[in-house]
């Protein structure tokens, strides 16, 4: 494995191998010395051309706990704000002898392009509305730990699908691992072209949350991405909550063993009620610690072996 750009690049065996490694990495979080020497002497650069707190800090801690040297570059304050092209910025950084690049960019396909320019291993940490493979891996890993196996389990993904890269990666990952997936959104936030894709990828679509929830073994709420919307997708926030939010009433209809996931950051009171976010069955904080373990596992698999092992 040279790069991680899309869930599509991974076989089921590779995904399970990452999960097995993540299991070991998870244990490190409970140790007094949270450090493994596996990536000693390797340099990882987090290039975030879009704001992010949890993904960037998760990758930063993951790299540091594996003993890699980690630096962060953000668009603000970097030479891109002076007009340098992405290609020049990336090539300049790689000329410093970098082994791994973690790239987040608002343009779909950016990580793929970067991977074509450099020798370093590239991890896609979210590209526009396209993919977010480590998020999908950590979600599936969290659910697999909670549910035992994903085979035949029914996962409902609810919310703003149009603007969600998390949904795109998650559908691929969960169906690959044998889960049945139903995606739910208001008609205005259901991506165009989802019909043919759902048929080929084998997932279901619905506009009705209350019809899907009683059959779900796991619920994944998506953030309403107000910053990506130019308006007009739904009349008011209140109306969205009534139609598609995981409200206190809907929470009461869920079995107490059904895990509730949210990739964060949450709009409490909009797509998810505080009661649901803080419920005993909420897996949201599990997702954060799983994210660290999964990112450690990904960096280990990309960077620990010999360079020609790609």
Partner 1 sequence: MTDAPTAGSPEAAPRTVLDARDVSRALTRISHEILERNRVTSDLVLLGLQTRGVPLARRIAERIAAVEGVEVAVGELDVTLYRDDLRSQPTRPSHRTEIPATGIDGKVVVLVDDVLFSGRTIRAALDALADLGRPAAVRLAVLVDRGHRELPIRADHVGKNLPSARSERVSVRVEEIDGDDEVTIS
Residue 40 assigned ligand-binding role:
no
When binding is defined by CB under 8 A, the residue of 8, 24, 151, 199 that contacts partner 1 is 24
- Closest approach, Cβ 119 to partner 1, in A, equals 15
Host H or E run for residue 200: helix 194-201
Q: What distance in Å separates the CA atoms of residue 116 and residue 220, rounded to the nearest whole number? A: 33
Q: 54 among the known binding-site residues?
A: yes
Residue 180 in 3-state DSSP?
strand
Is 76 annotated as catalytic? no
Instruction: In angstroms, give the least distance from the CB of 300 to partner 1.
Output: 7
| CA distances, 94 to each of 46, 120, 121, 234 (Å) | 12, 7, 11, 44
Residues numbered 48-87 forming contacts with partner 1, rule: CB under 8 A: 66
Beta strand pairing call for 204-206 and 180-184: parallel
Q: Among 8, 9, 35, 201, which residue sits at the site for partner 1 (rule: CB under 8 A)?
A: 35
| Contact call for residue 9 and partner 1 (CB under 8 A) | no
How many angstroms separate the CA atoms of 59 and 56, rounded? 5
Does 33 contact partner 1 by CB under 8 A?
A: yes
Residue 148: how many CB atoms within 10 A of its CB?
Answer: 9
Residue nearer to partner 1 on the CB measure, 228 or 301: 301
Choice between 66 and 140, CB closer to partner 1: 66
82 is catalytic: yes
CA contacts within 13 A on the Cβ side of 24: 14
Contact 92/82 with Cβ under 8 angstroms? no
Which neighbouring-strand residues pair with 4? Answer: 123
Does 119 help bind partner 1 (rule: CB under 8 A)?
A: no
Q: Is 310 exposed, middle or buried (0-12, 13-18, 19+ CB in 10 A)?
A: exposed
Does the active-site annotation cover 54?
yes
Q: Is residue 148 near partner 1 by the rule CB under 8 A?
A: no
Stretch that binds partner 1, among 19-27, 104-112, 175-183, 247-255 (CB under 8 A): 19-27
- Are the CB atoms for 246 and 221 separated by under 8 Å? yes
104 is an active site residue: yes
Among 31, 215, 248, 255, binds partner 1 (CB under 8 A): 31
Size of the site for partner 1 (CB under 8 A): 23
Residue 168: Cβ within 10 Å count? 22
Min dist. Cβ of residue 38 to partner 1 (A) = 4
Q: Which residues are annotated as a binding site for carbamoyl phosphate?
A: 54-55, 104, 132, 135, 264-265
What are the residue numbers of the active site? 54-55, 82, 104, 132
Question: Interface with partner 1 by CB under 8 A: which residues?
Answer: 1, 17, 20-21, 23-24, 27, 31-33, 35-38, 41, 66, 300-301, 304-307, 309
């Amino acid at each position: 494995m040279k790069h991680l750009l899309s869930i599509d690049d991974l076989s089921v065996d590779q995904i399970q191998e990452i999960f097995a490694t993540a299991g070991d990495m998870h244990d490190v979080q409970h140790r007094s010395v949270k450090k493994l020497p596996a990536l000693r002497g390797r340099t990882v650069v987090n290039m975030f051309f879009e704001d992010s707190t949890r993904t960037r800090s998760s990758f930063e801690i993951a790299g540091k706990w594996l003993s890699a040297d980690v630096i962060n570059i953000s668009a603000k304050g970097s030479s891109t704000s002076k007009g340098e092209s992405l290609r020049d910025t990336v090539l300049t950084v790689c000329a410093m002898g970098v082994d791994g690049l973690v790239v987040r960019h608002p343009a779909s396909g950016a990580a793929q392009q970067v991977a074509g320019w450099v020798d370093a291993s590239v991890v896609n940490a979210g590209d526009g509305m396209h993919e977010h493979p480590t998020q999908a891996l950590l979600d599936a890993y969290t659910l697999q730990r909670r549910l035992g196996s994903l085979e035949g389990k029914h996962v409902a993904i609810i919310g703003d699908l149009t603007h969600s890269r998390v949904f795109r990666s998650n559908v691929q990952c969960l169906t690959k691992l044998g889960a049945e997936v139903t995606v739910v959104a208001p008609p205005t936030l259901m991506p165009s072209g989802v019909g043919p894709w759902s048929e080929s990828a084998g997932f279901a679509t619905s506009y009705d949350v209350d019809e899907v929830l009683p059959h779900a073994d796991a619920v994944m709420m998506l953030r309403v991405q107000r910053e990506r919307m130019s308006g007009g997708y739904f009349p008011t926030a209140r109306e969205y909550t009534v139609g598609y939010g995981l409200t206190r009433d809907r929470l009461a209809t869920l079995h107490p063993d059904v895990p509730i996931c949210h990739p964060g950051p949450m709009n409490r009171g909009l797509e998810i009620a505080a009661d649901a976010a803080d419920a005993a069955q909420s897996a949201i904080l599990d997702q954060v610690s799983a994210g660290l373990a999964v990112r450690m596992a990904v960096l280990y698999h990309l960077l620990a072996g010999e360079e020609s092992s790609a």
